[in-house]
Copies of this chain bind each other. A is one copy, B any other.
Amino acid sequence: MRTLYHHPLSTQSRLVRLAMNEKHLVADEREEPYWLRRGDLLSLNPSGDVPVLVEEDGEIICGGRVICEYLEDESPEVSLLGATPKARAETRRLVDWFDSKFCTEVTQFLAGEKLYKRVALGEVPDSRAMRAGRENIHAHLEYIAWLTDRRSWLAGDALSLADLAAGAHISLVDYTADVPWSDHPLAKEWYVRLKSRPSFRPLLSEMFPGVAPAAVYADLDF
């Protein structure tokens, strides 16, 4: 069986697990505290990061988007990229949007401070950073509403990696109830549909030691 080294704090790990669940692919999942930069992980991935997928033949595939593209190449039956070059470009643009812009403007300021710092480093969150994250998230939720007002899902009329990348980030921010859902009903409608999918269930049942999830986190009817 494949082995997936991952961690629930890593949005790239969450993305790969969601994609594998959507594609009905299984792996032996091993939680790896990547911030410790253990030798075993470094020998698999010189960048020292998760996720890492190890194939049965020993082949090693490193990195969230790299693994997702690889699985799309290897198992195209359930496509998460799109049918045409232009559809795939739109999916990839939005994956990058969440992995770059949303990540630096929201995820790092909220989940980075409230979860990663506490769980991984044992540090106290910075209230200025959290305030910035709470301000920045509104524009992103408006963008989600704008997109899903025109399309069924973020990148088009089918669920794609764009939704899963967004879900990977937003679910982590939602763990501490930092998504202002009541101000953004259209974005909420999209997220209700997304988190109700069976692919989300394993992630929503996990807890970080020492930080209880908000009531809204795993609630499908929030």
Mark A residues whose CB is within 8 Å of B.
46-47, 59, 61-63, 65-67, 69-70, 73-74, 85-86, 88-89, 92-93, 96-97, 100-101, 143
Contact = CB atoms under 8 A, between A and B. Distances in A.
Contacts of A69: 88-89, 92
A32 to B, nearest CB: 17
Given A46-B143, A47-B97, A47-B101, A73 B88 contact: yes
B73 A92 contact: no
Provide the main secondary structure of the chain A interface: helix
B63 A96 contact: yes
B66 A93 contact: yes
A161 B184 CA distance: 40
A70 B90 CA distance: 10
Given A73-B88, A74-B85, A85-B74, A93 B62 contact: yes
B96 A65 contact: yes
Contacts of A66: 89, 92-93, 96
A148 to B, nearest CB: 15
Given A46-B143, A47-B101, A143-B46, A92 B74 contact: no
Contacts of A59: 86
Contacts of A92: 63, 65-66, 69-70
Contacts of A101: 47
27 contacts: A46-B143, A47-B97, A47-B100, A59-B86, A61-B86, A61-B89, A62-B93, A63-B92, A63-B93, A63-B96, A65-B92, A65-B96, A66-B89, A66-B92, A66-B93, A67-B89, A69-B88, A69-B89, A69-B92, A70-B86, A70-B88, A70-B89, A70-B92, A73-B85, A73-B88, A73-B89, A74-B85
The 4 closest A-B pairs by CB, nearest first: A73-B85, A70-B89, A66-B92, A61-B89
Contacts of A70: 85-86, 88-89, 92
A8 B89 CA distance: 23
